[in-house]
Amino acid sequence: MEDDFQKRYPITWAVLRNAADRITNWKNVTPQAKTRKRMEIAVVIVALSNTL
């Protein structure tokens, strides 16, 4: 399904990947904050994948 998502929403996928990479590189942020942001991105991905 990830491949379908990438093909159907290439720009959105790139934006979400960039956001995830930036979150991973955050400094001086609690692991809980990183996890919360990752979960928000996951919710967006699931919502968009449901439109396929």
**47 to 14, 30, 32, 50: CA distances (angstroms):** 16, 26, 23, 5
pLDDT along the chain (52 residues), means of 10: 76 84 84 88 81 71
pTM assigned to the model:
0.62
Report the SS3 class of residue 33. Answer: helix
Domains of the chain, residue spans: 2-49
Question: Which backbone phi and psi does 14 adopt, to 5 degrees?
Answer: -65, -40
| Structure tokens given for 38 | 């990752």
pLDDT of residue 1: 56
